[in-house]
Amino acid sequence: MAQSKKGKLNYRCPSCFIRDIDIDMFYDEKKKEYYCLRCCFHGSEEEVLRLNDMLKFRYKWMEKRVLDFGDDDKAPKVEDYKGEEEK
Ligand SMILES: [Zn+2]
């Protein structure tokens, strides 16, 4: 592990992040990929970006308001949240 070093950009580990652990990965110059010291995840920059982008699904609805959760087999109804309505 003495060779471990950070890449030019720090990316968080998508595999750890899904378990609510926010940890930076290291970069392997030879393999041209990022890897995590905490779990077994490793992947190219594209892969990391794609996975981290996918993880945004957790926060996708941060700016939405759920109107109706509906039935389990249907998507909930949402609208853009515009802040509290004036009363
Ligand atoms: Zn990890």
Tell me the pLDDT of the chain averaged across its residues.
82
* Cα distance between residue 64 and residue 53, in whole Å: 18
- 70 vs 45, residue with greater confidence: 45
pLDDT of residue 71: 84
Distance between Cα 61 and ligand 1 center (Å)? 25
What is the 37 CA–ligand 1 centroid distance (Å)?
Answer: 6
Q: Quick check: 62 pLDDT over 70?
A: no
Residue-range domain boundaries for the chain: 14-80
- Distance CA(40)–CA(87), nearest Å, equals 53
How far is the centre of ligand 1, averaged over its atoms, from the C-alpha of 14 (Å)? 7
CA–centroid distance, residue 62 to ligand 1 (Å): 25
d(CA 85, ligand 1 centre) in Å: 42
Q: Which residue has the tokens 């009363």?
A: 87
Query: What is the CB neighbour count within 10 angstroms for residue 35?
Result: 18
| CB 12, CB 26: distance < 8 Å | no
pLDDT band at 10 (very low <50, low <70, confident <90, very high): confident
Distance CA 29, CA 20 (A): 27
Model pTM score:
0.59
